[in-house]
Amino acid sequence: MEIRWSAKEIPNQELIARLSEEINVSKAIATILIQREIDTFDKAKQYFRPALNELHDPFLMNGMKMACDTIKQTITQQKKMMVFGDYDVDGTTAVSLVYAFFRTLNQNIEYYIPDRYKEGYGISKMGIDYAHENDIRLIIALDCGIRSNDLIQYAKDLGIDFIICDHHLPGEELPNAKAILNPKRKDCTYPYKELSGAGIGFKLIQAYSQKEGFPEDKYLEYIDLVAVSIAADMVDMRGENRILAFHGLKRLNSQPTIGLQALMDGAPAKSYYTMQDIIFGIGPKINAAGRISDAKAAVRVLIETDLTKAKQLSRILSDRNDERKELDTDITKIATEIMNNSAERLNKKSIVLMGSEWHKGVIGIVASRMVEQFYKPTIVFSLNDGMLTGSARSVKNFDIHEAISSCSMFVEQFGGHKYAAGLSVREDQFEAFSAAFEKVVAENITENSLTPEVEYDLEIELSEINNKMMGLILQMAPFGPGNTMPIFMSKDLSSFNTARVLKDKHLKLNVQQHQRSSLEGIGFGLAEHIHTVSNGQIFDACYCLEENHYNGQVKLQLRLRDIKGSNQNKSI
């Protein structure tokens, strides 16, 4: 697939020179920082040294005082409370940290994760009925509930209060809850809007600790769970999320909660866990619990305080993750064949697929795989008892949540974000929905949005790369949306006949420029470019810098993102 390259705007040269001198970094690093709006000494200090005392006062969040007062009253009166959350990583980590915190204060507490297959996403009637039958008077809902107006009123009528901790976009009318913690409320002046669901749960236990005069360690011991939620939910990695992720990773690598330690012990050893290790290692294991069976299994691991028991429980998650991988691979293969065997589908601007035997727990992963292969807004549905459950994934700069909203006349229920959403459609509405969705996409998407893009920060010479640059880039972590790993572009490169293909799909080579400045390079999934870099041909490349740890040695390495023959880039 052809990939479009684009360069970020280069800041004013005087500003680059000033910041370079003020903080003693190269002009290349100064440029990258300014592109991230880090343009003064003080901003650079905050960026490179995120401090916990820079976290916002949790009581700035609308509804926080009422939430804390309600919980305090429930505990004082020895009434039962329940922590309710979604079945994905954000939901289960949120439930785990809030439940683990409050169970030290109230023995009349339990948690509830809805069954993906019986109850679906978010607040469920089954969950409310369970609470009513067990005399639970307060439900703290995490990572869900902001649009569950009818169900929360149903609970209210049964004498059950709700505290909603959600980060999804509210509807026009808010639910009739005791307190609603959501920075995206129109009437909420909380300074930071991009917290994860677990992040909002963390702000709740931070506020309660402050109100009750507990030491900071009382709530900070759960900050590694927040880092896991931030990584897995791909929320913005600036502002408060950067502070939480930075210190959450420190905790994860030094003194993790027992459950996370068990999950890490069951994986290949790492010298230091990063956000990428969470995304591709810890996160999928936690997610697999709810994808394949009961997500309560994930919470049981995360709240366990005995390491031996936690390791036993974590093996269940690992087994489910292996099963998830098989299902994901099989369904992706079928979906790919459906696409490649239909010229009509390939000519459309969107992908909408449905399978009656497709496991509901992996269709979101399959949708992501389809976007990787075909780069179109994609919805994959699973059929069960006349109802289609769908997972939607989008491409850069296209709001798939808004597109689904435009087709809401054919949709039973939907929710999510700009780039990922979930929805339910009746089987008899599938064709009408598919046609309407394709029409909305075709009318609103640009050709650029249908072409995958590598946006690079800066063009540099290989001779500019050194250990100091690598050290500063490592200090720019944690990386994620809004603070991505810097991407460089270099021209007129050659491999002096060292290029080879690994495992039929990866590209390994030594890269030099102007017959000097040799560095090793690895391009995962870039084997198709072997002819572009062979026989002394000159090429250009986009890449990130990384450290390759091997046999006790550490070497700088180019992580290649894309390669083009030099004559292909005259229009960049």
Phi, psi of 437 (to 5 degrees): -65, -45
Q: What angle do CA 125, 126, 128 make, to 5 degrees?
A: 65
d(CA 475, CA 226): 20
* CA gap 415, 424 in Å, rounded: 10
Residue 555 buriedness (CB in 10 A; 0-12 / 13-18 / 19+): exposed
- pLDDT score recorded for residue 572: 34
Cα(232)–Cα(276) distance, rounded to whole angstroms? 9
pLDDT at 111: 97
Tokens 């389809």 found at: 370
3 state DSSP class of 512: strand
Q: Does domain 342-450 have CATH number 3.10.310.30?
A: yes
Question: Rounded to an integer, what distance in angstroms lies between the CA atom of residue 61 and that of residue 182?
Answer: 8
**DSSP E strand stretches across 148-293:** 161-165, 179-181
Distance CA 257, CA 305 (A): 8
* Start-end of CATH 3.10.310.30 domains in the chain: 342-450
pLDDT of residue 417: 79
Question: Is-above-0.75 flag for pTM?
Answer: yes
Helix (H, G, I), strand (E, B) or coil at 32: helix
The pLDDT assigned to 569 comes to: 47
Which regions of the chain are under pLDDT 70? 266-267, 567-572
The CATH superfamily label for domain 455-568 reads Nucleic acid-binding proteins (2.40.50.140)
CB atoms inside a 10 Å sphere around CB 117: 15
Cβ count near 525 (within 10 Å): 11
**What is the 8-class DSSP label of residue 172?**
S
Q: Where does residue 538 rank: exposed (0-12), middle (13-18), buried (19+ CB within 10 A)?
A: middle
Task: Return the DSSP state at 554.
Answer: E
Cα–Cα distance, 157 to 86 (Å, whole number): 23
What pLDDT is attached to residue 568?
56
CATH class, 58-318 region: alpha beta
Strands (E), 214-363: 351-355
Question: Three-state DSSP class for 389?
Answer: strand
- Beta pairing, strands 387-393 & 378-384: antiparallel
Q: What is the DSSP letter of 38?
A: -
DSSP 398-420: --HHHHHHHTGGG-SEEEE-SSE
Cα-Cα end-to-end distance for the chain: 17
In the chain, residues under CATH classification 2.40.50.140 are 455-568
Q: Which residue in the block uniquely carries the two structure tokens 């409370």? A: 81
